[in-house]
Amino acid sequence: MKIALDARTIFSPKPRGTGRNLLDAYRRIPALRPDWEIVLYHQRHAHDCAVRDWLPSTRDPDASRRKFSNLHTRRIDIPGDRFNLWLNLRLPRAARRDGVDLLHMPANAAPVRCPLPYVVTIHDLIPLVVDGECAPAERQAFRRRIRGALRNAAHIITVSQSTRDDLQREFDVSRERMTVIPWAPDGLMTANDPFVTERPARSRGDDSPHAAAIRAVRERYTLGESWLLNFSGESRRKNAAGLVDALALVSAALRARFQLVLVGCEPARVREHLTARAAQLGVLPQCRFLGFVAHEELRGLLRGAAGLVMPSLYEGFGLPILDAFACETPVLTSRVSSMPEVAGDAAIYCDPHERASIATGIEKLLDPAVAADLVARGVRRLSGFTWERTAAAMCRVFERAVKGAAAQGSGRAPTTRDLAKPEPVAGGVR
């Protein structure tokens, strides 16, 4: 079987979110299905991208070729790429010419017309379910794009039950057409990830192998001994302003013991707005508003944090929660959308719309006994979220999709055997 992936997010110079998740998943698939041929279609030259360290490994190219002998990359492009022609024209034509059996479209979009079957991954429906997230015209364009991707998909992968429920409500998609396959922690955060070779070295006299990474970020960003970490951004749903407001309700004595570090406050006007708000509330000395932070530094920031605070209004999955568990960092998050299904009983929950609720959660998070219990629960929770399970579940979906497409092509209707659901993954999540 020949499987192809729209791998543009993997080949980004600074892959985030979807790109890094796909990298972690597709590192496992070649070994799980050695008889498959896997093609990663992209637009960028590999030497310009983070993926250059993976295919092939510059440290051991022979071992890399053996490990990924059935995985290939192919750069295709189209001049100008107006009207999204790479996705709608160049990719499906190349895949058909190359004899691909199935396309995996991993990022909420698919070609308008595709001459071969495809599986689409829908991460979230944020523009449709979060008020004020985008302009009405953008909202309608997003709805049309999702509807088109769903209409002709051989199968649909969602990363959470929350997104699956949103799809059912907004587009009346039957559950039989969808499979929930959750992500897992970022490989860089996981101590036993076999694909991560660069880890913080154990310094002489240090009790922790992570001490050097923590010390490096503390010095680089002039942090104190204790901080709470938040992954922020321009989107209102990240609730950065609500978090700053909540900080002002925490007792002054407790505030003096830590800093609130918000990462990803881009563009600059976001930092300026948050800085002005914190100054007005009298909490600016306890705040650090950072823009883009290199991926390699996130490990030190997260592992050195006294806690992850994530009072988001909505998340399609909430991957930082699992990353925090992997870094043995306690978590405060919201009891909305996908976050409870990811965090389970291993987090303190708050109402993200109530700043007093967030403040109370912060105070609980900083209690040493509570934090220790949360860390232990988080480590146990991680056993249900592994990239091996995620990759295996993806493989089963791909096989079912190809079998179902073949049945339709032969003129017979797909049977219940063709459409049987894969086995549960991640603690019973389907």
Give the model's pLDDT for residue 317: 95
- Cβ neighbours for 387, distance < 8 A, ≥ 6 positions apart: 24, 25, 27, 28, 184, 187, 193
Helix (H) / strand (E) element for 128: namely helix 126-129
Evaluate whether 413 touches 166 at the Cβ level (below 8 Å). no
- Cβ neighbours for 333, distance < 8 A, ≥ 6 positions apart: 308, 310, 311, 312, 318, 321, 339, 343, 347, 348, 349, 350
Give the model's pLDDT for residue 66: 59
> Cis before residue 56, ω within 30 degrees of 0?
yes
Bridge partners, residue 38, by sequence = 3, 71
Give the model's pLDDT for residue 13: 74
Give the model's pLDDT for residue 94: 96
**41-75 pLDDT, tens per residue?**
998 776 555 555 555 444 455 555 556 889 999 99
Give the model's pLDDT for residue 189: 76
Task: Determine the average pLDDT of the residues in 163-187.
Answer: 96
Structural domains of the chain sorted by starting position, each given as residue range(s) with its CATH number in brackets: 2-184+387-409 (3.40.50.2000), 206-383 (3.40.50.2000)
Evaluate whether 183 touches 322 at the Cβ level (below 8 Å). yes
Task: Determine the average pLDDT of the residues in 340-346.
Answer: 97
Q: Over 70: is that where the pLDDT of 200 sits? A: no
CA atoms of 422 and 228, how far apart (whole Å): 39
For the entire predicted model, the pTM comes to: 0.88
**33-49 pLDDT, tens per residue?**
999 999 999 987 765 55
Q: Over 90: is that where the pLDDT of 427 sits? A: no
Give the model's pLDDT for residue 63: 53
What average pLDDT does the chain have? 88
Query: CB-based burial of residue 384 (10 Å sphere; 0-12 exposed, 13-18 middle, 19+ buried)?
Result: middle
Phi first, then psi: what are they for 271, rounded to 5°?
-60, -40
Residue (of 357, 356, 355, 320) closest to 339 by Cα position: 320
Query: CB-based burial of residue 2 (10 Å sphere; 0-12 exposed, 13-18 middle, 19+ buried)?
Result: middle
Q: Over 50: is that where the pLDDT of 192 sits? A: yes
Q: Is residue 73 helix, strand or coil?
A: strand
